[in-house]
């Protein structure tokens, strides 16, 4: 979906900048990746949406997590996602400058990059992606990529909410900041993933995204000589490097394959 069509679809004011809030699934592992500014994902979401309601100088989009659709199918859950319920019960009707994209919307998340000027998340992977496109990312907790020079990080809820009150004044990332984000994304998405050959796993394109695993190692020798297991075991037992890096373990050929997979992904812009 193009930028013009998306603005019309969501009734965005073309004269204003646009911020996109990316809610985490509220019952997800809030505390596993760092320290939150707020007590939990729900409090962060509600306080962020309240701040959005107060700042009508910006278009605000709440993009409900699309994984809700698959998770509800798997668990047999019916009804609105917990994020939507929390907004409805604690805030109620939203003002015209705040828009909600349902979890089951046909609007692809990648298309939001065409209209997004700001990205808000606690620690979601979307923050790495948005910053790589030069979009300012406001975090609300520590995690994997905050305080690396390409995100806007707050030390208190008050500081975070004050930034939202004047969000439209925050400029785009500088070329240097964007390069830092791109370097981090390259490390996270290309260098760190372990290419598996002993077994393969993939999600089916069905309503439940069924997980399929295929064991490729048949004999004892296959397991003992498996390059993926040997490389990971060597890093675990012998290396002092803080991260497993595919280039160090497998060489440039496997790294090139990873770069090709990354290049095949939609650009989002």
pLDDT per position as a tens digit, 77-123: 666 778 888 999 999 999 999 999 987 788 888 899 999 999 999 99
Q: What is the mean pLDDT of residues 210-232?
A: 89
Query: What's residue 244's pLDDT?
Result: 87
Identify the band that residue 69 occupies on the pLDDT scale cut at 50, 70 and 90. low
Identify the band that residue 131 occupies on the pLDDT scale cut at 50, 70 and 90. very high
Q: What is the pTM of this model?
A: 0.84
Query: What's residue 262's pLDDT?
Result: 45
Identify the band that residue 266 occupies on the pLDDT scale cut at 50, 70 and 90. very low
Mean pLDDT for the chain overall: 86
Q: What is the mean pLDDT of residues 218-225?
A: 91
Query: What's residue 70's pLDDT?
Result: 57
Task: Give all domains of the chain, ordered by start, each with its CATH number.
Answer: 3-185 (3.40.50.2000), 191-264 (no CATH)
Query: What's residue 28's pLDDT?
Result: 63
Identify the band that residue 209 occupies on the pLDDT scale cut at 50, 70 and 90. confident
Q: Which residue has the higher pLDDT, 29 or 61?
A: 61
CB 9 within 8 A of CB 1: yes
């Amino acid at each position: 979906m193009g930028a013009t069509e998306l603005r019309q679809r969501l009734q965005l004011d073309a004269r204003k900048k646009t911020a996109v809030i990316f809610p985490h699934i509220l019952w997800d592992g809030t505390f596993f990746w760092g320290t939150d500014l707020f007590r939990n994902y729900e409090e962060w979401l509600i306080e962020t949406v309240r701040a959005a309601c107060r700042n009508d100088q910006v278009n605000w989009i709440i993009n409900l997590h699309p994984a809700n659709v698959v998770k509800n199918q798997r668990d047999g859950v019916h009804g609105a996602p917990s994020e939507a319920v929390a907004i409805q019960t604690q805030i109620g009707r939203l003002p015209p400058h705040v828009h909600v994209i349902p979890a089951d919307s046909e609007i692809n998340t990648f298309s939001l990059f065409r209209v997004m000027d700001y990205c808000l998340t606690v620690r979601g992977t979307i923050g790495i992606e948005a910053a790589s496109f030069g979009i300012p990312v406001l975090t609300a907790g520590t995690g994997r990529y905050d305080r690396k020079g390409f995100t806007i990080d707050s030390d208190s809820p008050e500081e975070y909410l004050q930034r939202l009150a004047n969000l439209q004044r925050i400029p785009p990332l500088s070329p240097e900041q964007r390069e830092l984000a791109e370097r981090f994304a390259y490390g996270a998405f290309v260098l760190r993933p372990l290419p598996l050959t002993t077994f393969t796993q993939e999600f089916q394109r069905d309503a439940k995204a069924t997980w399929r695993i295929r064991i490729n190692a048949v004999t004892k020798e296959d397991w003992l000589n498996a390059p993926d297991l040997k490389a990971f075991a060597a890093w675990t037992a012998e290396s002092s490097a803080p991260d497993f890096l595919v280039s160090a373990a497998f060489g440039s050929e496997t790294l090139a394959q990873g770069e090709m997979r990354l290049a095949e992904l939609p650009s989002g812009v």
